Amino acid sequence: MLSGMKVGKNFWNGAEWYLTSWRSADDPSPGPYRRALDTSGLPDNIVWEGDAKTYRAGPWNGRWFSGIPEVLTYTNVMEYEMVISPRETTYSYITKPGGPLTYIVLLDTGVVRRLVWDADARAWQTYFQGPRDVCDTYRKCGAFGLCDAGAASTSFCGCLRGFSPASPAAWDSRDTSGGCRRNVKLDCGGDGATTDGFLLLRAVKLPDAHNVSVDRSTTLEECRARCLANCSCLAYAAADIRDGDVRSGCAMWTDEIVDVRYVDHGQDLYLRLAKSELPPPSSPQAFPTAPVVGGSVAVVVVIVLVLVLIVIRRRRGSTISGKLQPCLSLLSFFFFFSSFQFLRLLITAAYANIHSTLDVPGARSCALSFPCIEHQLSPAHSVTSSSAPAPIVPYVDLLTLREATGYFSESNIIGRGGFGVVYEGRIPDGRKVAVKRIIQSPLLDEGGEAFMREVEVMSKLKHGNLVQLLSYCKDGNERILVYEYMKNKSLDLYIFGEDPKLRDLLNWERRLEIIRGVAKGVAYLHGLNEEVIHRDLKPSNILLDDNWKPKIADFGTAKLFVVDQTNPTLVQTAGYTAPEYITERYLTLKCDVYSFGVMLLEIVSGRKNRNTPTLLSDAWESWNQHRITELLDSAVAQPEPELLFELDRCVQIGLLCVQQSPNDRPTICAVVTMLNNSSSQIRAPKRLVFDAMTEPRLREADHSAKEGASSTSNGSHTIYLS
């Protein structure tokens, strides 16, 4: 579909315009998929396979299709137009003068893509793809179900409040297509009287709007009253959001609610529930107005009393002013106190209204500009935030550690790295621990001051995706750190190992969870007031606990090997080093982002970047040519379609992380958001020019250069026609 073309229907002559897929990638005959504009109810772009819906863009809300918030980023280069009249209902877009070339295509797989020409890369880049993830699968969660793509893979679907799985056994087996049933029947008498209320669902793609009742001339308040008066009305929403914060028009659902999901910049949906199923009045979802009204009434009463006393004082003169003075003082106190309480209630109500998505199961703080930290983790935001210093981890004497490790026996070695040897040990209380004996090096400070500073910092870091430091030892030249023991050892054993059984243990769901967990851990380190740059992110530094939860190790050790913190010369592990660090020794948070991106692509592919010098460029080619399955680890069974969407998106994120320029890489906080919220927009990565093959040449050129230097010195609109 090119700029200026339109899709939709002409009701006068019966003409219809829609997209049809090819039969296959090399067979242009008509295929099984078509993308057509549903003109009944609220207009919606829908992909069909025969007579079955497979994907909806979401109802048109006056500015965009509610399930595709990405269009908000295109308004500077194109305009969107929806024409709704007795003659036709059509949708089109127009590229603005000077804008890039773009088109929409329906692939033979049923996937819709908007491609934009990147003049710099001289390639077509994908700016949007739908379905984008598992929650875009039509009716994924059945009737009255709600899909959250940011939830764990085992719990994408949940029932709306007031509903329960129609078949608990089917849901237990992860078959959610049967949907949910209402717990308590609605109260709707013949006279229209009812005790029902509405639950506010924020930031959702509106349900399938085929045959909904639409009235664009009414207000949202009138819509609520109409819905309550109609025993068949199950939910309502604004039909038009063109006027910014003012929502107008009325869309009422009288059939089952299907295909609802969370989405960035989603809309408000008001779901009808029995009184007993509604949140308590104090809940932000229950529209708390009584406290504010009560507070305002109290303020008004106090003001009236103060004015009355002032009038009395003026009329009777100063002879009784001494008697009135205590009353006036007391009333003044109550006036200011009531005003303060009223203001506090207003702020609280506004804050609760903004944060109401947190009361919806599965909603994350990402939607509230805190994308890096989940509520259940609640880590300290700063290692120096407390007024009292956090206690340092206990000291352990050298003899105890020698005995715990069999005097550092070779048989107890469970890992080796650039910073030392890790031993399995058993301390006197019977617990297994990991004992890291840091290698003797002239880079270590003789007095151990830097070591102790790092131990103090590491002991304060608390996060579910960091290996916990338990104790330390500094005895002479010995520097030893004691960590919690990780039963499943390091990640590299499973993604690079030759044993196919070990590789198969990390199925795609586990690999995706590991990627998300590592990103959260790095985001925690980067988000501290005293930013911690890991400096050596790689699979061997990612440990796995009993439940395969990833935990980052060595997040403080690398810093001990920097000669000068203002001009770091740490040699990072080859294959994970950002190009700007190789050539300029420029160490920033984006160096960690680069290392994370390499590791992400290794986890997905099962290939080591150092052993496969073209891994990064191969990944870009596979993603750009839409052949992502060629990149995936062949030791793991091919993913189901819903997981393939996630993996494709994951590779795209990894490619953004390994961009040549640090400015082109996202922050790790943005990475967490993209990984956990599949409706968030991801820009297309540029073609890669740096990989493990070019890295040695960069290092050599950098070394030669240094030797030489030392010797010498919003655009959318809707047209309604009656």
Q: Does residue 691 carry a catalytic annotation?
A: no
Q: Quick one: how far is CA 553 from the chain centroid?
A: 24
538 is in an annotated binding site: no
Distance CA 237, CA 60 (A): 12
Cβ distance 307 to 299 under 8 Å?
no
Residues across the chain? 722
* Identified catalytic residue from 133, 536, 554, 618: 536
Phi, psi of 565, rounded to the nearest 5 degrees = -65, -25
Q: How many C-beta atoms surround the C-beta of residue 689 within 10 A?
A: 11
Residue 642's closest CA among 307, 326, 205, 177?
177
d(CA 522, CA 493): 21
Closest residue by Cα to residue 636 from 512, 489, 515, 465: 512
Tell me the three state secondary structure of residue 84.
strand
Q: Which residues contact 121 (CB under 8 A, 6 or more apart)?
A: 686, 687
DSSP single-letter state for residue 490? B
* Token pair of 299 as six digits: 């303020």
Residue 364 identity: R
Phi, psi of 144 (to 5 degrees): 60, 25
Indicate the SS3 state at residue 682.
coil
Q: Which residue has the tokens 């198969």?
A: 504
Q: What is the dihedral of CA 518, 521, 523, 525, to 10 degrees?
A: -140
DSSP tag of 160 = P
Count Cβ atoms within 10 A of the Cβ of residue 702 and give its class: 0-12 exposed, 13-18 middle, 19 or more buried. middle
- CA atoms of 244 and 241, how far apart (whole Å): 6
| CA torsion, ordered 523, 529, 533, 534, to nearest 10 deg | -60
Cα–Cα distance list, 235 to 135, 144, 213, 255 (Å):
21, 11, 11, 9
d(CA 82, CA 589): 44
- DSSP lists the bridge partners of residue 215 as 250
Residue 542 pairs with which residues in a beta bridge? 552
Binding residues: 436
Which residues are annotated as part of the binding site for ATP? Answer: 436
- Known catalytic residues? 536
